[in-house]
Structure formats: structure tokens, C-alpha cells
């Protein structure tokens, strides 16, 4: 007996259910999906679709996330890019400045992130993490700190219309955690910032 193929909508429902069961809110999942779609449109050269996707996700962030949430800063940066794509450079500069101001508070938040246990590829790695939890956490915090610093450099470059020194969205697919916790929210804020192609 064979099962029916899983449709894209079934996968989306399953992913939404998993996120909600992990404690995420619908707006967390929707924001991530909209930012992914807008970045994908930007990468494919569909500027208008990217612009509207960034605007939609930006308003969701403004209405649904706290000022201190790193996704607010990412959303402001993407709203700035939307303004730049529409030829509204003064507005883009103001929004990038706001994004950088909001991003300045992100490094202090790393130590307070909720990090759920990861599934490991072997029993050995699982035991090592259990025995050395503090070391694993310190290494993760260091790694996240590097992402935050790279994003800060990218925001500075974007604000000045300079080439961005780091890849952001192209790294998202490989870096996106399977677990719905604060590290995924932070990495989404770091890597789902739109960068115009040259």
C-alpha cells in the first residue's frame, strides 16, 4: 500500500504545527516565511515582489514584536531596502539608521537566549553535550556572536550603499536550525536581511 504524496500545503501545516508545539506564535512562523519569500524574490530578480514581501513582513514585525527583538532590526533593514528599490533613498537611509540603532542592543541578548537541546548524529555526541553543556553553550554563544557581528558589518555597508562583506540570505538554508527556539529567531534576523545584487 502506498501513501498519497505530501503536498506543499501539508508540509506547511506540519511545519506550523511543529513550531506552535515548540512555543512559537503564528506571527513568528509567518514572519520567517514572508522574509524567506521576499529574499527569494530578490535573489531571482523580482524586485517588486521582494519589495512588497519586505513591507508586509516589516509591518508584521512592527505590530507583533518587541523593539528589542532582533527581527525588528532586520525588518527595518528590509523596509530600508524596499524604500531603496522604490527610489526613496532618504527614507532608506533613515530606516537603515533605525535598524542599526536597534541592532546595537542585540549582542547583549545572546547570553539570555533559550537554547533547546539539539538532536545529535550519534550517542557519543549526545553524551558529550550532556556532560559538557556549559562548553557547548559557550561555543554556541561565540558562534552566534560572530553572526551578530557580521550582520552589524552588513548593516553598516548597506546603510552606506557599499558592497556587503558577508553572504546573508544564501547561508540561511544551510544554517537554519531545525529546532524552533531563540537561536532560530536570531539567525533569521541575521541572515534574512535583503542584500541587493550588483
Specify the pLDDT at position 2. 56
Distance CA 189, CA 181 (A): 13
CB atoms within 10 A of CB 162: 10
Tell me whether residue 174 is in a domain.
yes
- End-to-end CA separation in angstroms for the chain: 52
Specify the pLDDT at position 193. 98
What's the whole-number mean pLDDT along residues 98-125?
84
* Distance (Å) of CA 6 to CA 10, 32, 145: 6, 22, 38
pLDDT-derived band of residue 137, with 50, 70 and 90 as boundaries? confident
Mean residue pLDDT across the chain: 90
pLDDT-derived band of residue 154, with 50, 70 and 90 as boundaries? very high
pLDDT-derived band of residue 188, with 50, 70 and 90 as boundaries? very high
Distance CA 140, CA 142 (A): 5
- The residue ranking higher by pLDDT, 168 or 19, is 168
Tell me whether residue 1 is in a domain.
no
Specify the pLDDT at position 9. 64
| 40 has a pLDDT exceeding 60 | yes
Tell me whether residue 197 is in a domain.
no
- Say how many domains are in the chain: 1
| 118 has a pLDDT exceeding 80 | no
* Distance (Å) of CA 191 to CA 8, 109, 129, 151: 24, 17, 26, 8
* CA torsion angle 186 188 193 194 (round to 10): 180
Q: List the domain range (segments joined by +) for residue 42.
A: 8-191
What's the whole-number mean pLDDT along residues 37-46?
97
Amino acid at each position: 500500500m502506498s501513501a498519497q504524496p505530501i503536498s506543499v500545503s501539508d508540509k506547511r501545516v506540519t511545519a506550523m504545527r511543529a513550531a506552535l508545539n515548540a512555543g512559537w506564535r503564528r506571527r513568528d512562523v509567518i514572519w520567517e516565511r514572508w522574509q524567506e519569500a521576499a529574499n527569494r524574490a530578490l535573489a531571482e530578480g523580482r524586485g517588486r515582489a521582494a519589495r512588497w514581501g519586505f513591507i508586509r513582513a516589516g509591518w508584521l514585525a512592527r505590530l507583533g514584536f518587541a523593539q528589542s527583538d532582533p527581527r525588528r532590526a532586520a525588518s527595518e533593514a528590509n523596509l530600508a531596502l524596499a524604500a531603496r528599490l522604490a527610489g526613496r533613498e532618504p527614507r532608506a537611509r533613515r530606516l537603515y539608521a533605525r535598524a542599526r540603532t536597534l541592532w546595537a542592543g542585540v549582542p547583549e541578548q545572546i547570553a539570555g537566549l533559550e537554547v533547546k537541546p539539539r538532536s545529535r548524529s550519534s550517542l557519543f555526541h549526545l553524551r558529550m553535550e550532556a556532560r559538557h553543556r556549559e562548553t557547548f553553550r559557550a561555543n554556541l554563544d561565540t558562534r552566534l556572536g560572530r553572526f551578530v557581528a557580521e550582520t552589524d558589518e552588513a548593516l553598516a555597508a548597506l546603510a552606506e550603499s557599499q558592497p556587503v562583506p558577508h553572504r546573508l540570505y544564501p547561508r540561511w538554508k544551510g544554517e537554519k536550525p531545525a529546532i524552533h527556539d531563540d537561536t532560530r529567531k536570531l539567525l533569521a534576523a541575521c541572515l534574512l536581511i535583503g542584500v541587493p545584487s550588483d
